[in-house]
Chains A and B, each alone.
Chain A
Amino acid sequence: MNGYVEAGYAVTLATLALYAGWVGRRRRALNRAVGGGGADRYTAEHR
């Protein structure tokens, strides 16, 4: 096909995956820090 096209798709999807992963890791770390004990404290408190 064309290396530029694949590069465009790869950069976009990889960046979104990395960002989503970072948000998830940060959320888990904060949950542990505020005493969630690994459970999702935000979700538990807002049910």
Chain B
Amino acid sequence: MARGVATRLSRVEPVAVRAVGALALASLAATVVLGLWFTPEDQVMGNLVRLLYVHPPVAWVAYLAFGVTAACSIAYLWPRTRSPFWDRLGAASAEIGVVFCALTLATGSIWGRPTWGVWWTWDARLTTTALLLALFAGYLAIRRVTVDPAARAKRSAVVALVAFADVPIVHMSVLWWRTLHQPPTVFRPGFGDPTLATPMAWTLLLAFCAFTLAYVWLLAHRYRVAVLEARMEGEGLELALAERRAEAGYGEGPGGIEGGAGSGGDGPGQAPVPVGAR
């Protein structure tokens, strides 16, 4: 199944990826122009409301990216669908999610300073978001310390699922606890009556689409990097194995230490050949 998904994805590349990239760029530019110059000011917040077209969409993409990582982790842990494809896609999405989560905290801090008078406060929403960033940074760290690809994929999938449990806590934190952060404007329980003027709502919708397209474009490219990294890792392993075989005497001919007939190695007189070269 995963192989089929990968094959189908690869068939639509690179034209689809370029189209998504162009759409993302155009919609981001439109968001900036509309958000900075054409949308109205807010009666209470004034011009600061323009950060609305950046901060919530960026937070949404962080949720989405971590959600994709969690879904890929389930697909990897499920024996019927286990494939390196899900592991690589989940890791690629997590890295992008960390970037967007850091941006969520940065833009929130920039918005908080003039609104609340502080860059940071140990508010429930801010604290749980910082925890989310730390958890997925830990996920990326775990991927770097485990050498065996299968063990790494399994461990990181479990960590991703544990880390993702924080996402609903982050989202509901403004309803569960008394916080400085305002309650949800759009994704409120019941999805009823978003409290936005029409031009603001359309620009916000455009911003959500723009940042989502940027995420899809980044994911396609980051996934390619993950595939190439895996190949490098495999080639490095094969090279190391070939060197160890050479050190142990494989390939020295019939007179070698283990190179004689029936040794079960590379056969008499054969030089060590990387597996991928056969």
Contacts and interface: CB of A to CB of B under 8 A. Distances in A.
Interface in A13-47: 13, 15-16, 19-20, 23-24, 26-27, 30-31, 33-34, 40-43, 46-47
Interface of A is mostly: helix
Interface of B: 10-11, 13-14, 28, 32, 35-36, 46-48, 50-51, 54-55, 58, 96, 99, 102-103, 106-107, 110-111, 113-114, 214, 218, 221-222, 224-225, 227-229, 231-232, 235
A14 B32 CA distance: 13
B114 to A, nearest CB: 5
A11 B110 contact: yes
B103 A15 contact: yes
21 contacts: A2-B114, A4-B48, A4-B51, A4-B111, A4-B114, A5-B36, A5-B48, A5-B51, A8-B55, A9-B35, A13-B32, A15-B99, A16-B103, A19-B218, A23-B225, A27-B225, A33-B228, A43-B14, A46-B11, A46-B13, A47-B10
Contacts of B229: 30
A15 B113 CA distance: 20
Interface of A: 1-2, 4-9, 11-13, 15-16, 19-20, 23-24, 26-27, 30-31, 33-34, 40-43, 46-47
